[in-house]
Every structure is written in structure tokens, then in C-alpha cells.
Amino acid sequence: MSKTKALNLQVLSTIDIKIIFLVLCLLAIGGMMIVSSSVPYAEKQFDGNSLYFVKRHFIYLAVALMAAYITLGIKIELWEKYGPWLLIISIFLLVAVLFVGRTVNGSRRWIALGPITIQVSELVKLFVITYIAGYLVRRTDELQTQFQGFIKPLIVVSIITVLLVAEPDFGAAAVIAATTMIMLFLAGARLWQFVLLSVAVGGALSLVLVSQEYRYERLMIFLDPWKEPYGAGYQLIQSLIAYGRGELFGEGLGNSVQKLAYLPEAHTDFVFAVFAEEFGFIGVASVIILYLYLFIKGMSIARAALKNNLTYAAYISYGISIWLVLQAIVNIGVSSGALPTKGLTLPFISYGGNSLVVCCIAIAILLRVHFETQQSQTSGKKKTKEVSA
């Protein structure tokens, strides 16, 4: 235990302070917005217990930070070694949730284990990335030279996607599919294969979108929410009103009107709409810049690892960076009316313990990659000095 603690402290002493600052800023914004947006809803739902979601959120945050601290002590080679097993666990959980999962708002996405509720799709996002990164290391030549090397991981991801859609969790399926495709492209997949795959996946997702009436209805409401202003289009309209009320500088922290009785469950997937109302365009632009800068830092960590021949570390860093920014883009796009409604949280900001814990673990993996890259550079310099001497 003491060795693990010492190792974690060593990692913390060499981490990229900028990433820590970015994530802490996002977590602070998240905590602030959960306090601001959830109190009116909790007071009505839980007989005056206005801090119900606030207390739970900060408990989740403590667990997330502890999980991230533990993850710092896990070597990247262990993620590579157990990547296939994590994929098997993902498939098992996705099958299990269809039979024993808890249904909320028509979706069966959660497995209850006593007081703990696991949202399977959140774990699956990370586990699929660990597997795909390992595949890219093992099969780089096959991926770049043979079509079958390109197809094999897609079959695996297709199984994952089908199981996610069955829950249904169309948003998570789309994020995982898009992240996988970009990872394959970065690993050297041929452009024509990537274009063909993008068309095929786009077509498949389109068929899935229109195969169920509620998905098709969401698409139509997205195009014109005022067709059903008090029905399916209600939440999007209230979200757009929140954005409009924010104008340039916002109404001020705590002064949102939409969160009081208009925007349903404003602390979850549409928390950014409340943020936009309270902090305006300046606040929205600032948060988007934070996410973009986090993406740039993650990609730079991946490139540095690749230069030091830490191939798996590079690919898992690419995957995590792409996943987090894609999910942020989708969430912000949904709440602003730029994309059809999806059930995706805003990383580090939305209420949701599973998302918070998994996102913090992902950041810890990035920090671990940065640490191991620095170690590799240091050992390389020492060897160079010994040879020259």
C-alpha cells in the first residue's frame, strides 16, 4: 500500500499542471451548476430536500477523485494486457443490463448493486478504447495493408453498438462508433476505407434512427420543435429560450428562470442550457475553449508518447481525448438545438456519478501516460550520455 502511495505521489509530482487546472475548472463549473440548477427541482421532488442532488453530486465527486488517484498508480501496460478482458466484461454487462437492468424513462441502462447503480454505457466507452488501442498496436501492419485488418475491430464495435441501441442508448453508440473510426484513421487506415466506412456507418445509424418511431419523432422535433411546443418539442424549446435569455453576459449565477419550472431535470443532460442563461455567450465560449484546450493537451500527450515508441499509450490517449471532446460537442449541440436529442452527459459538468467517475479515471490515464513518457525520455537521455561517455 505504501509503495502504491509513493508511486502515486511520484506521478503527481510530474503531472501536467495545465490538464489538472483545466479539469478542476470544469469540475468547479459542474459543482456550481449542480447547486444552481438542481435545487428547485429537488425541492419539489423530495419534499423540501433541496440539497438532495447537491449532496449526491459531491459524494460522486469525492469517489471520482479517489478513483482517479488510484488509477494513477496503474501502469499503462496493464490496461494493454487486460484490454481484451475489459471488452469481454463490456459485452457481458451490456447483455446483463437487458435482462436485469433498471428502466428509467423507457431506457434500460442501469444495473443496481445494492446502493450502487452502474450505468453500463459509461464503462463501455472506456473499455472499448482500451481494447481498440491494443488492437492497433498488435495489428498495425494488417490494418494498413489488408482490408480484413480494418474490418475485424469494426465487427467487435458493431456488436457493442447493437447492444447499446437495444437499451436503447443511441448517443453512446454513436460516440463509440465515431471514436473508433477516428482511432483507426489515426493508426493508418487507408482513406478510401475510412470514407467507405463512414458512409456505411452513417447509413446504418440513419436506419437505426428511423427504425423506431420515437427516434424518428426526435429527428422531426429537432428540425422543428414548435410543431409540438407542449409535447415532444417542449424541452428543446425551453432550452433554446434559456440560451436566448443569456445573451452576451447572462442573467447572473442563480438567476435562471428556465430551471425553476420550465426546463425539465435541468441538472442532467441540459445543464449547459442553464449555464448559458446565467453566463451568456461569454460563459459558453469560455467552457468550449476549456474543452478544446483539454483536447489539444490530450492529443499532444499522445503525440509525445508516440515519439517515444509508447504506441499503446499513444493510442489510448488519442481515444480518450477524442471521446471526451466528441461527447462534449454532442451534449452542447443537443442543448443548443444543433443536434437531435441524445442522452449524453456533459463531461465533468452534468449530474451523474458514473459519468463523473469514468471521466476522472480517463484523465488519470492521460496523466499516467504523460508520466511514463517523461520517464522514457529521461531514461533515453541517460542511455545517450552513457554511450557518448
pLDDT digit string (tens) for the chain, length 389 residues: 555 555 555 666 667 788 999 999 999 999 999 998 888 888 887 777 888 889 999 999 999 999 999 999 899 999 999 999 999 999 999 999 988 878 777 778 888 877 788 889 999 999 999 999 999 998 888 877 787 888 888 888 889 988 998 888 888 988 998 899 899 888 887 777 777 777 776 676 677 666 666 666 666 777 777 877 777 788 888 999 999 999 999 999 888 888 887 888 788 888 999 999 999 999 999 999 999 999 999 999 999 999 999 999 999 999 999 999 999 999 999 888 888 777 789 999 999 889 999 999 999 999 999 999 988 877 665 555 555 55
Q: Do residues 237 and 226 touch, judged by C-beta distance below 8 A?
A: yes
What ranges in 224-310 are assigned the alpha helix state H? Answer: 234-246, 258-261, 271-307
Name which of 197, 212, 207 is nearest 167 in CA terms. 212
* Cell matching residue 153: 475491430
Crossing angle of the two packed helices 2-13 and 52-72, in degrees rounded to 10:
90
Distance (Å) of CA 183 to CA 94, 136, 242, 268, 271: 23, 9, 36, 29, 29
* Cell matching residue 92: 457481458
114: left (phi > 0), else alpha (psi -120 to 50), else beta?
left
- The single residue listed with the C-alpha cell 482490408 is 147
Percentages (nearest 5) of helix, strand, coil residues in the chain: 75, 5, 20
Q: Do residues 97 and 110 touch, judged by C-beta distance below 8 A?
A: yes
Cis, peptide link before residue 168, omega less than 30° from 0: yes
With the CA atoms of 343, 349, 335 and 172 taken in that order, what torsion angle do they form, in degrees rounded to the nearest 10?
-30
8-state DSSP, 226: G
Q: Enter the pTM of the model.
A: 0.90
